[in-house]
Structure 1
Amino acid sequence: MLKVTHQFKAKGNFSRLAHIQFLCVLTLICQLCIASSSHALDTVNLQLRWKHQFQFAGYYAAKAKGYYRENGLDVNFIEAEPGKRIVDQVLAGKAQYGIDVSTLLLERAAGKPVVALCVIFQHSPIVLITAQNSPTQNLHSLIGKRIMLDKNSDEISAYLNKEGVSTDLLSLIKHNFNVQDLIDGKVDAMSAYVTNELFFLNKAGFHYNAYSPRSGGIDFYGDTLFTTEQELKKHPARVKAFREASLRGWKYAMAHPEEIADLILSDYSHSKTREHLLFEAHQMATLIQPDLVELGYMNPGRWQHIADTYADLGMLPRNFSLDEFLFDPDPRHDQTRIVIVAAILAACLAVTLGFVILLRKMVRLKTEALKNANQELTKQGNQMSSIINGTNDAVFIKDTKGRYIIVNNEVERLFGKSRAEIIGRDDSCLLAQNESNLLMTNDREIMIGGKVVTIEEQITTVDGRKTYLATKGPIHDESGSITGLFGISRDITERKQEAEEKTRLEMQLLQSQKMESVGRLAGGVAHDFNNILTVILGQAQSVF
C-alpha cells in the first residue's frame, strides 16, 4: 500500500514538472514570435518636402494609427534641408520614398528614374499675391515691378507667360519667404502658398489679390508621393503596402484635422501654432477635395496637360512619354468598363457631329453679329463721349451717397481738379460747407421725389461765384431701384446778370415816366390856377 502511494506521488510530481516546463517553452515561443514580428517590420524613410506641418498630416496619421505597422512597415520621416533637393535624397538611397510636385516630370525627362505613386493635392497651392491697390489692377500691372518667385513655381511662370507677361519684363528678386516684405512695400508681388503665407497676411489685416494659375487654365498637381524604379522593382509589395497605408492615413487626417494638429504639436514640431495648423488643414481641403476625388487619384490626361505646359515653356520636348512614370496599383484591372464608355462616347460623337457643325456655324454668325454690335456701341460711345466732353455744360453722375462716379471735362475745369481727384468724393470735399450742404440736400430731395427737376444753384468755382441752371434726375436700374443721380448744369451767371441789369433799367425808365407824368400834371394845375388868378385880379381892379 505504501509502495503504491509512493508511485502515485512520484507520477504527480513528474506531471507538475512537465507542466511547468511546457509553460516555460510556450512563453519562450511567444517571446520569439513577438521579437520575430518586430524584426519583420521593414524600416523605410520618407523624405518630406519641407519642415513638419499639416502638409504631411496623412503620413503622421498612418504612423500614429498603426496603418504602417499593420502593413509591415516602420516608417521614419526626414525633414527637408535648404539646398538639398528632394529627388536627389531619394535617388541617393537616404529615403525610399519622397514627396515632390509636378517638377517630377522634369526629373524624369532628365533621366532620373522616378515613379509617381499617387497625388495628394489635386491642385497646386501656389498663387501669386500682390497688394490690393486698385480695383482695376491685373497681372499686366506687374510689368517692371519687383517680384519674388520661388524656384519651384513653374506654374506661375507658365501663367504669366500665357497672360502675355513674360518674366523678362519683371524685376525678379530672390525669394526669402517673408510676407513682411510685401506688407512693407519692399516687393510688389510674391509667389506664395494658400496654405501658409495667406495666414500671416490675414492675421496682419493686409488687403491683397491672389492670382491662381488655375484661372488661366494652368492646373498643376501639388504634393505627389514618389519612389524610384529600383524600389518598385525590388520591393513591389512594399511599395503597394506603403502607398495603401499612406492613403488610409490621409483619409483619417482629413476627417480629424484637430486631432492631427494636436499630434503634430506633441510629437513633431511647435513651429506653427494650432490655429495656423488648422488654417492649413482648411485650405488643404479645397486642394485635396477628398469628398469629390478619390485620395491618391492620378489622371494621365492631367499629367499630359502638365507636360504640354512645360513643353510650351521649352522645358520638355513635345509629346513627352509618360510610360513607366505613373504607378498602376492594379495593372491587371478590367478594361471592360473603359471599352463600354469608349463605345458610348463614339456613338454619341457620331450622333452629335452634325449638330456640332451646325452649332459652330450658328456661333460664328452670332459672334460676327456681336462683333458688329460691339463696334457700333464703341462708335456710339466715342461719339457720346465727344459730345459730353465737348459741351460747356457740366455733366456728371453721382451715386446714392452723393459721390461723383462720372464727370466731364467742364466739371474738372470748374473745380480745378482732375478726374482722379473728383471721382469717389462728394460735394463736401470740393465746396464750402454752406454750398455743399445745399447741393447735397437738393440731390437727396430729387432722388426721393423720383422726378427730373430744373433748379438754380450757386457755387464758388475757380472762376469765382457762379450761378448754374441745373437739370437733375434719378437713375434707375433694371428693377426700378434708384442707383444714383445725373446732372447737367449750365452757367447762367452772365445771363442772370444781364436780366438783373435789364430789370434795373426798366425800373429806372418806369420811375422817370412817373416823374414826367407828375410834371405834366403839375404844369396843368399851374396853368389852370394862373387863369383863375388872372380873372380874380381883373375883377379886383374893376371894383377899385
Structure 2
Amino acid sequence: MKKALFLFIILPILLFADEYKKVTLQLNWLNQFQFAGYYVAKEKGFYKDVGLDVDIKEYTFNTDLVNSIKTKKADFAIGRSSLLIEKAKGEDVVALGAIFQESPLMLLVRKDSHIVSVRDLKDKKIMITPDAAFSASLLAMLSANGLNKNDFTIQRHSFKLDDLISRNTDAMASYLSNEPINLDEKEIKYKIFKPKDYGFDFYSDILFTSNSFIINNPKITKDFYEASIKGWKYAFEHKAETAEIIYKKYNSQNKSYIHLIKEGEILEKLAYANNTDIGDISNKKLQSIFNVFKLFGLVKNDIDIDSFIYDENPHKTMNLEISPAKQKLFFIILFFIIIVFLIVLFILKKNKQLKEQLQTVIDATDDFILYKDNKFRYLGCNKSFEKFVGKKKPEIIGKNDFELFSKEYAKLFRKRDMEAINLNSIQINHECVIYENKKIILQSKVIPFKYKKTKKEGILAICRDITELHEAHEKLKKEAYHDELTNIFNRKAFNERIEEKFDLYYRYKNEFCIAMYDIDDFKYINDTFGHDIGDRVLIDMTKYIKQHIRKTDFIFRVGGEEFVILFPKTLLEEALVVIEKIRVDVSNMNLVENKKVTISIGITQVRENDTPASIYERIDKLMYVSKHEGKNRTSKD
C-alpha cells in the first residue's frame, strides 16, 4: 500500500519534470537591458509555452562563447559579427538572428576636447580593445578618414569611464547604451563617432548555435528562436515593465531603474534600424562585414555566407509599413523606374539627340533624379534636383555633396551612397529635408550602376516627396488610440493599458485605482444649447482635468460623455482626494452660460482576483449609484 501511494505521488512529479526540455543560453556580457528579450521570454513564460526550460548564463571573463557551443556547455550563445571569422576558421557556427541591426559600438569623446571630426583624432590617444575582430569597424572608420595605426596612439581599454572624464584618454571605444547615459547623468557633454555613419554597418548580439545542434534538434531550435524574438518584441513594447524585471531579478551591475529604461530606448532604435525587423539577417550585409575583416587580414579564405545563416531566418532586407496592395504597386513602380533609367543611361552614351529628348522626359517629373561617379561627384541630374539645390546643372556637375549642401545634409547623403556601394544593392532610405522653406520627407532609392568603358561603379538616385503619405500614416496611427474631439486616449488605448496594469499588479502587487465619471444631464445640454456647446463642454472639461492629474495618470474617453481616469501605484484614499477636488472644481466652472455642469463619479481600487472586466463593471455601477443618489457626487468601493 505504501509503495503504491509513493508511486501515485512521485510518478506525476517525474512526468511533469520531463515535460520541459532544458536548454542553456550563454550571454556575452553581464546582465543588462542588452539581453532583455531573453529575460522576458523566460519570465513571461514564452519559453515554457513551447516546452523549454531555459537557463540563462551570465558572462564571465574566462568564457569562450564558440567553445561553449562546441563543448555543449551551452546550446545557444550571443556573439558578434566576428563569428564570421570563426566560420572562416572552420568552426561549426550558425547565426539564428541578429538582435541589433546596428552595432552600439562607437568612439566617444568629450565635447570640450575640440575633436569635431574623425580626422581630428590624429596624434590623439584612443582607448580601444586589443581584439582586432571586435574593433574592426572602428579601425575601418579611422582608415576611411585617412588615419592609419601610426597616426594615433592605441591605449589598452580600462573599461573605466573616468579615464575619459579625467582626460587620461582622448577617445574611448564605448557602447551607445551605456557610457553616454552615464555622461548624461553627470551632465558632461560628449560627441560620438559611429562606424555606420561612414559606411561600416555591423550587426551586434547575434544569437547563434551549431549546425549539428540544429540537425539534431530542429524543433527546439525553431521554438527557442521564435520565443526569443517574441520576448524581444514584448520587451520593447513594454520597456517599463521589462526594466522592472531586470532591476529586480537580473541586476548584477546594480543599475538604476531609470538607467535600464534609457538603455531600452536606445537599444530599441538599434534593433529596428534600417527598417528591418528584430532578428533579420542580410547575406549582402554579412558579405560587406566579411570584406572588412579581409581588409584587415583577419580572414583569408572566402566562406559560403548562406550556410552561416539559419534557414528559418526571414532574410528580410526591407520592411515597409504600408498595405500589401501598396507594397506591390511600390515594387512595380520601382522596377519600372530602374528599367527606364538603365535604358536612359545606356542611350545617353549613344546618341546626343536622344539624350536631349530623354533629359526632357526626366525633367518633367517632380522626383529628384541624379547620378554620381565612383568618387560621388555629380554626373547629371534633372530640373527638380536643380531647384532643390538652388543651382543650375553646370554648377552642380563635377561637385560633391560637401560642396553643394550643409555639412548635415552632405553627411546624410554620403552615408546612404556608401551603403549602396559597399552592399552593392539598392538602398531605400527616408530623409527629412527642407525644400521650398518647408520640411518634407524624401524616400530615396539609391542604385549602384556601372558607367563609361572603365566600368567604374557610381550611383543613381531617385528621391520622391512622401510627406503626405507619411503624415497620413502618422494620423492613422494617432487616430487608432486617440479620441478625435478631446485629443485624449480612447477606449482601445484603455483596454491595452488596463491589461498592462493588471499584469504588473499580479506580478509585483503594484496597486492602482480607477475612476469613471459621466457628465450629468449631458443630453439636456446638447438638446438645449446645441451640439457645438456640448462639444465645447467635453473639450474644456477634459483639458482642465488633464492639467490637474499627475503626468503618470491616464485619462480616457470610453463613451459619449463617459470618461475613465487610471491612477497607477495609488491607494483609494489618495485617489479619492484628487477625484473629489476635480468634481468640486468642475461644478464651479462656467462651462455653459446660466447652466451648472456637474459630474457623477465611481471610484475603486484593484482587488485580489479582479479582472479588467470586473473592475470596469464595478466602477460603472458605482458611477450609476452616484447618478441615482442625486448626481454631482462620488461613490467609492
Normalised TM-score (structure 1): 0.58
**Deviating more after overlay: 132-141 vs 363-372:** 363-372
1:187–1:70 distance in 2 versus 1, CA, 3 Å? same
Query: Structure 1 residues 291 and 262 mapped into 2: Cα distance closer, same or farther (>3 Å)?
Result: farther
- The residue that corresponds to 1:215 in the other structure is 197
1:254 aligns with 2:236: yes
Q: 1:115 aligns with which of 87, 91, 94?
A: 94
- Aligned partner of 2:356 in structure 1 is none
- Alignment map for 1:72-151 (pairs within 5 Å): 72-133=51-112, 137-150=116-129, 151=131
Change (3 A) 1:178 1:170: same
Aligned mates of 1:173, 1:332 — CA distance in 2: 38
Question: What SS does structure 1 have at the residue aligned with 2:94?
Answer: strand
Q: Who is 1:168 aligned against?
A: 150
Task: Give secondary structure in 1 for the equivalent of 2:100.
Answer: coil
Partner of 1:47: 26
Pairs within 5 Å for 1:186-335: 186-271=168-253, 272-289=255-272, 292-317=275-300, 320-329=303-312
Q: Distance in 1 between matches of 2:328 and 2:292?
A: 29
Correspondence for 2:345:
356
How far apart are the structure 1 equivalents of 2:193 and 2:398? 33
**Is 2:28–2:59's contact at 8 Å kept on the other side of the alignment?**
yes
- Per the TM alignment, residue 26 of structure 1 is displaced from its structure 2 partner at its CA by 13
Counterparts of 1:280 and 1:356, CA distance in 2: 47
* Contact kept? 2:378, 2:398, Cα under 8 Å: no
Structure 1 stretch displaced more, 318-327 or 203-212: 318-327
Query: Secondary structure of 1:225's match?
Result: strand
Secondary structure (helix, strand or coil) at the match of 1:190 reads strand
- Which stretches in structure 1 are left out of the alignment for 5+ residues? 1-20, 378-544
Pick closer, same or farther for the CA change 1:318–1:312 going to 2, 3 Å: farther
Q: How far is the alpha carbon of 1:279 from its aligned partner?
A: 1.3
* Structure 1 stretch displaced more, 244-253 or 284-293: 284-293
Cα offset, 1:81, TM superposition: 1.1
2-structure distance, mates of 1:343, 1:319: 35
Deviation of the 1:170 alpha carbon: 1.6
Gaps of at least 5 residues in structure 2 are 317-324, 349-369, 381-391, 404-637
Any runs of at least 4 consecutive aligned residues in structure 1 with deviations exceeding 6 A, and if so which?
25-31, 330-333, 337-346, 365-368, 371-374
Superposition pairs of residues 404-419 of structure 1, within 5 angstroms:
none
Give the drift of 1:168. 3.0
Cα gap change, 1:280 to 1:339, in 2 (>3 Å) = closer
Aligned to 2:358: none
* Deviation of 1:84 (Å): 2.6
C-alpha deviation, 1:124, in angstroms: 0.3
SS at match of 2:227: helix
Matches of 1:319 and 1:42 in 2, distance apart?
37
Taking a change above 3 Å as real, the CA distance of residues 116 and 332 of structure 1, as seen in their structure-2 partners, is closer
Distance 1:181 1:255 in 2: 36
SS for the counterpart of 1:323 is helix
Give the whole-Å Cα distance in 2 for the aligned partners of 1:332 and 1:195.
26
CA distance in structure 2 between the partners assigned to 1:346 and 1:48 by the alignment? 43
* Distance in 1, Cα, partners of 2:287 & 2:137: 14
Alpha-carbon offset, residue 346 of structure 1: 6.3
Identity of aligned residues (%): 33
The residue correspondences of 1:386-425 to structure 2 (distance < 5 A) are: none
The corresponding residue for 2:521 is none
- Kept after mapping to 2: 8 A contact 1:63/1:75: yes
How big is the shift at 1:254? 0.9
Alpha-carbon separation, structure 2, partners of 1:244 and 1:329? 10
Q: Is the 8 A contact 1:143 1:169 kept in 2?
A: yes
Give the TM-score, by structure 2 length: 0.50
CA, structure 1 residues 330+304, in 2 after alignment: closer, same or farther (shift >3 Å)? closer
1:308, 1:319 within 8 Å by CA — same for their partners in 2?
no
Q: CA RMSD in A?
A: 3.6
> CA separation of 1:68/1:290 partners in 2, compared to 1, >3 Å: closer, same or farther?
farther
Cα deviation, residue 141, structure 1: 1.6
Distance 1:137 1:251, change over 3 A: closer
Q: Deviations over 1:195-226 (max 9, x none)?
A: 01111111122121100111101111111100
Amino acid at match of 1:276: H
> Which has the larger share of helix?
1
Larger Rg: 1
CA distance in 1, matches of 2:184, 2:332: 51
Distance in 2, matches of 1:346 and 1:292, equals 20
Query: What is the one-letter code of the residue matched to 2:75?
Result: Q
- 1:124-152 Cα distance to aligned partner (Å, 9 max, x none): 00110112236673212211211111232
Q: Which letter does structure 1 place at the counterpart of 2:259? A: H
Measure the CA separation in 2 of the matches of 1:346 and 1:326: 28
The one-letter code sitting in structure 2 at the alignment partner of 1:277 is L
Secondary structure, aligned partner of 2:234? helix
Structure 1 CA distance for aligned equivalents of residues 119 and 11 of structure 2: 70
Match of residue 391 from structure 1 = none
Tell me the distance in 1 between the aligned counterparts of 2:28 and 2:314.
28
Partner of 2:474: none
Residue correspondences, number: 350
- The 1:305–1:290 alpha-carbon spacing in structure 2 relative to 1, beyond 3 Å, is closer
**1:313 positional shift:** 2.4
Q: Displacement, 1:326?
A: 0.2
Greater mean deviation of Cα atoms: 364-373 or 303-312: 364-373
Distance of 1:331 and 1:185 partners within structure 2: 45
Matched-pair contact (CA < 8 Å) for 2:22–2:55: yes
CA distance 1:371–1:349, change in 2 (3 Å): closer
Distance 2:331 2:70 in 1: 39
Native 8 Å contact 2:81 2:202 kept in 1? yes
